[in-house]
């Protein structure tokens, strides 16, 4: 029943905020500090992945591409966090196979609304 969500961000405060918000709504939240760390934690058991785009080692776009290349992870909802309002970065993420996006700064209510939208 508990849906598991992976938050991928090199910013500890963002991870903490995402965890706090989603755990409060009954989700189980796992954390990864960058794309490479997330790659090791991806599994079809996850309900949603929320990833930052700018990260060391492997960035968000790279993570999305690798995830979509794995047949078992196709269809896994992946949300990207963007600070950029630039269309370009968002389009790059979409082309890589991201499900949706959340623009920073966002509120807890906005985060929950988007997660519910893709996780059901």
Partner 1 sequence: MTGGFEQTFREEARDLLGDLEAALLELDERPEDAELVARAFRALHTIKGSGAMFGFDEIARFSHELEAAFDRLRKGEAAVESSLIRLALAAGDEIRRMLDAPEGGCSPEAGRILADLRKWSGEAESAPPRESGEGEAGEDGAAGEPEDWFLRFSPGPEVMIHGSNPLLLLGELRGLGETVARAEARALPPLAELDPERCYAGWEIALRTGAGMQAIRDVFLFVEDESELTIRRREGRRDPSAPLALRARNAEAAARAAQAPAAASSVRVAAEKLDQLVNLVGELVTVQARLSEVSSRLDDSEIGAISEEIDRLTAELRANSMSIRMLPLRNTFERFRRLVHDLGAELGKQADLTIEGADTELDKTVIERLNDPLVHLIRNSMDHGIETPEARLAVGKPARAAIRLSASHSGAQVLIRVSDDGRGLDAKAVRARAVEQGLVAAGAELSEAEVLQLILAPGFSTARQVTDISGRGVGMDVVRRSVEDLRGSVEVRSAPGAGLTVTLRLPLTLAIIDGLLVRVAQAHFILPLANSLECVELTRGQIEEAHGNRLASVRGQTIPYIRLSEYFEMDAPRPERERIMVVETEEGRYGLAVDDVLGYHQTVIKNIGRLYRDAPMVSGATILGNGTVALILDPQRLVQDAIHLAGSGRRAALSLRGIGAEGAPSKGKQNRCYAA
> Could you say which residues in the range 72-111 bind partner 1, by CB under 8 A?
74-79, 81, 83-85, 94, 97-107, 109-111
| 54 near partner 1, rule: CB under 8 A | yes
| 33 near partner 1, rule: CB under 8 A | no
Q: In the set 2, 40, 45, 88, which binds partner 1 (CB under 8 A)?
A: 2
Compare residues 40 and 117 and give the one whose CB is closer to partner 1.
117
Q: Is the peptide bond before 85 cis (omega within 30 degrees of 0)?
A: no
With vertex at residue 112, the alpha carbon angle to CA 81 and CA 72, rounded to the nearest 5 degrees, is: 65
Burial string for 27-54 (b: 16+ CB within 10 Å, else e) reads: bebebbbbbbbbbeebeeebbbbbbbbb
| 70 near partner 1, rule: CB under 8 A | no
Compare residues 13 and 40 and give the one whose CB is closer to partner 1.
13
User: Which residue ranges make up the site for partner 1 (CB under 8 A)?
Assistant: 1-2, 10-14, 16-17, 20, 24-26, 52, 54-56, 68, 74-79, 81, 83-85, 94, 97-107, 109-111, 113-114, 116-118, 120
């Amino acid at each position: 029943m508990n849906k598991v969500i992976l938050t991928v961000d090199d910013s500890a405060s963002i991870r903490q905020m995402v965890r706090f918000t989603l755990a409060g709504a009954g989700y189980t939240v796992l954390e990864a500090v960058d794309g490479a760390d997330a790659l090791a934690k991806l599994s079809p058991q996850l309900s949603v992945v929320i990833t930052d785009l700018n990260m060391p080692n492997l960035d968000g776009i790279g993570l999305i591409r690798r995830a979509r290349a794995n047949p078992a992870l196709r269809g896994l909802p992946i949300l990207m966090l963007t600070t950029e309002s630039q269309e370009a970065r968002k389009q790059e993420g979409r082309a890589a196979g991201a499900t949706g996006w959340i623009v920073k700064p966002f509120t807890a209510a906005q985060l929950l609304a988007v997660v519910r939208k893709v996780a059901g």
